[in-house]
């Protein structure tokens, strides 16, 4: 896939101030794939396999750029989010089945986000996980209930910046084998026993709820009502925003794996839980590193809980062919189902890190259905008119869907053999 050509085709001529005006929706989505589920999956990847499976972050991010742009494409052109479009253009039984699975994926996402924030609070302040989880869910719900999109975007951009700085700081404290890391980024390999971790990293980067969320955020601007010239301009701006945001996410996810590989894999330290990761970093890298790890985990969990709740609200509202609006009962119900559906599961988890990893595997299993639905909608002239996917776009999108489906089949075969 020629991503450089894709960028040239969509890239507008932007001044610095113009670019800053349009940065926001992509970073709001980026939070969803630098969440605690990613942290658990990435720490498992780096501590167990070193730099060997860094390639899945590269591949996942390339696929994510293609898919998130396509999701935003749907919102810009139609003025509908993915959930609304599914309800309008698919049969009732198909749309309801698909959106029910998407709600379950949103709950699974919220589980990882809330649990991660609770682990961060436990590391920093010693709060029990159950209390930290309730506090995190209430705080996320409050922010969704009381803030507009633009206010949320500013909060999320601030959180993303702090998380990124946390791991830039971590990288300065470890000795990195950069030649091995470069090989890991570019050379696919599947070490023995690594497939569940590879799938959890994929599910943690390319996430179903983010495809719903991106189309929702974009459609809320209703650019489709302003004519073809505005639609074409916004498609170009949006691709720049998406590309920038996804590269930020790639860098942060890569940094987590590199830190875990450099600290844990190199020293043959087995990491079974995230608090252990923070505690182990203290004697190896100094007390400040453990504090930074805890703060970063708290920020990523809290901010991504907000985006998971918004996605759940968008999916549920879309079943009634309504956009996300926190003053509307359908959106509020979706937010409540997402946050409150995750809490009881957290209370009964015996192994938080395994819960985080399995939540990402669940997302990767649901993901092909969301991709198939998205590509079917954006490839349909009935839905998109003259903006339906080109032949090249269809090849890129269906290839991406095929890779995700293939990895899911491999995971299923692996689990059957293991069972």
What's the CATH code of the domain at 41? 1.20.1740.10
Q: What per-residue confidence (pLDDT) applies to 225?
A: 53
Quick one: which of 256, 245, 209 has its CA closest to 83?
A: 209
Q: What per-residue confidence (pLDDT) applies to 25?
A: 58
Reduced to 3 states (helix: H, G, I; strand: E, B; else coil), residue 51 is coil
Return left, alpha or beta for 222; rule: phi > 0 is left, psi -120 to 50 is alpha, else beta.
left
- State how far the Cα of 329 lies from the Cα of 155, in Å rounded to an integer: 25
Domain count, the chain: 1
Task: Let me know how many helices (H) and strands (E) the chain has, helices first.
Answer: 19, 0
User: In this structure, are residues 33 and 249 in contact, taking their beta carbons and an 8 Å threshold?
Assistant: yes
CA 395 vs. chain centroid, Å, equals 23
Q: What per-residue confidence (pLDDT) applies to 389?
A: 95
Angle at 278 between CA 277 and CA 282, to 5 degrees: 115
What are the start-end ranges of the H helices in 79-148? 82-89, 92-125, 129-146
Quick one: which of 18, 26, 111, 21 has its CA closest to 65?
A: 26
pTM here?
Answer: 0.82
- State how far the Cα of 277 lies from the Cα of 350, in Å rounded to an integer: 18
Using CA atoms, how far residue 84 sits from 55, 69, 219, 328, in Å, is 35, 18, 11, 15
Longest dimension (CA), the chain: 61
Sorted by sequence, the CB contacts under 8 Å of residue 107 that are 6+ apart come out as 312, 337, 338, 341, 342, 345
Mean pLDDT of residues grouped by 10 in the chain (419 residues)? 44 39 57 74 92 94 90 89 96 95 93 89 90 93 76 68 76 89 94 88 83 80 62 75 84 90 87 74 71 82 88 95 91 95 86 75 85 96 94 93 84 69
Q: What per-residue confidence (pLDDT) applies to 1?
A: 40
- State how far the Cα of 323 lies from the Cα of 134, in Å rounded to an integer: 28
Between helix 274-285 and helix 36-49 the angle, nearest 10°, is 60
Q: What per-residue confidence (pLDDT) applies to 248?
A: 83
Q: Can you give the residue range of the structural domain that contains 246?
A: 3-418
| Residue 387 backbone dihedrals phi, psi, to 5 degrees | -100, 15
């Amino acid at each position: 896939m020629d991503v450089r050509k894709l960028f040239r085709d969509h890239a507008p001529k932007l001044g610095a101030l113009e670019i800053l005006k349009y940065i926001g929706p992509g970073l709001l989505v980026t939070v969803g794939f630098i969440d605690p589920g990613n942290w658990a999956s990435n720490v498992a990847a780096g501590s167990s396999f070193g730099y060997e499976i860094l390639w899945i972050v590269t591949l996942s991010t390339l696929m994510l750029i293609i898919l998130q742009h396509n999701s935003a494409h749907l919102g810009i052109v139609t003025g509908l989010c993915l959930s609304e479009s599914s309800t309008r253009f698919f049969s009732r039984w198909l749309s309801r089945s698909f959106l029910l699975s998407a709600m379950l994926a949103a709950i699974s996402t919220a589980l990882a986000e809330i649990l991660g924030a609770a682990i961060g609070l436990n590391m920093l302040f010693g709060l029990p996980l159950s209390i930290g989880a309730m506090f995190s869910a209430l705080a996320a719900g409050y922010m969704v209930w009381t803030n507009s999109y633009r206010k949320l975007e500013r909060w999320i951009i601030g959180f993303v910046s702090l998380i990124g700085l946390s791991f830039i700081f971590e990288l300065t404290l470890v000795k990195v084998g950069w030649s091995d890391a470069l090989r890991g980024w570019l050379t696919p390999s599947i070490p023995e026993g690594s497939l569940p971790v590879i799938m959890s990293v994929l599910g943690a980067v390319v996430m179903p709820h983010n495809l719903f969320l991106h189309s929702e955020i974009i459609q809320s601007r209703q650019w489709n009502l302003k004519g073809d010239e505005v639609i074409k301009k916004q498609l170009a701006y949006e691709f720049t925003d998406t590309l920038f945001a996804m590269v930020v996410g790639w860098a942060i996810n890569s940094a987590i794996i590199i830190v875990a590989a450099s600290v844990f894999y190199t020293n043959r330290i087995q990491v079974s839980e995230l608090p252990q990761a923070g505690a182990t970093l203290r004697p190896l890298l100094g007390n400040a590193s453990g504090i930074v790890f805890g703060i970063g985990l708290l920020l990523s969990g809290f901010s991504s809980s907000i985006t998971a709740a918004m996605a759940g609200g968008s999916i549920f509202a879309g079943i009634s062919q309504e956009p996300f609006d926190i003053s509307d009962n359908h959106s509020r119900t979706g937010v409540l189902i997402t946050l409150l559906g995750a809490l009881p599961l957290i209370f009964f988890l015996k192994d938080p890190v395994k819960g985080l990893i399995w939540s990402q595997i669940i997302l990767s299993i649901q993901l092909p259905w969301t991709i198939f639905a998205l590509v079917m909608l954006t490839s349909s002239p009935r839905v998109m008119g003259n903006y339906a996917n080109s032949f090249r776009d269809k090849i890129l999108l269906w290839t991406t869907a095929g890779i995700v489906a293939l990895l899911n089949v491999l995971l299923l075969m692996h689990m059957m053999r293991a069972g």
